[in-house]
Amino acid sequence: MNAKELHDKTPDQLRDELVTLKKEAFNLRFQQATGQLENPARLRSVKRDVARVHTVLNQKAAAAASEGA
């Protein structure tokens, strides 16, 4: 997932994506703790995707605030 894809989504879609990514991150951490994690790199990429979604949400919120003021 890249930031360009995220910029095209609405804030509601981004929040849904964030929930999905956080659930996936939880499941990956659980698999890691039990020794069943097959792809350790996926954990890192999910963390970065969560950060990207947060960044885009904050940018959209700041843009909306500056338009209103």
Residue 24 lies in a domain: yes
Q: What residues make up the domain containing 35?
A: 3-63
Q: What pLDDT is recorded for position 48? A: 97
Q: What pLDDT is recorded for position 11? A: 95
How far, in Å, CA of 10 to CA of 15, rounded? 9
Residue 68 lies in a domain: no
Residue 37 lies in a domain: yes
Encode pLDDT of 7-41 as tens digits. Answer: 999 999 999 999 999 999 999 999 999 999 999 99
Q: Does the pLDDT value for residue 54 go beyond 90?
A: yes
Query: Would you tell me how many other CB atoms lie within 10 Å of the CB of residue 15?
Result: 13
Residue 69 lies in a domain: no
Domain count, the chain: 1
Task: Using CB atoms within 10 Å of the CB of residue 17, give its burial: 0 to 12 exposed, 13 to 18 middle, 19+ buried.
Answer: buried
- What CATH number has the domain bearing residue 27? 1.10.287.310
Residue 40 lies in a domain: yes
Residue 25 DSSP SS3: helix
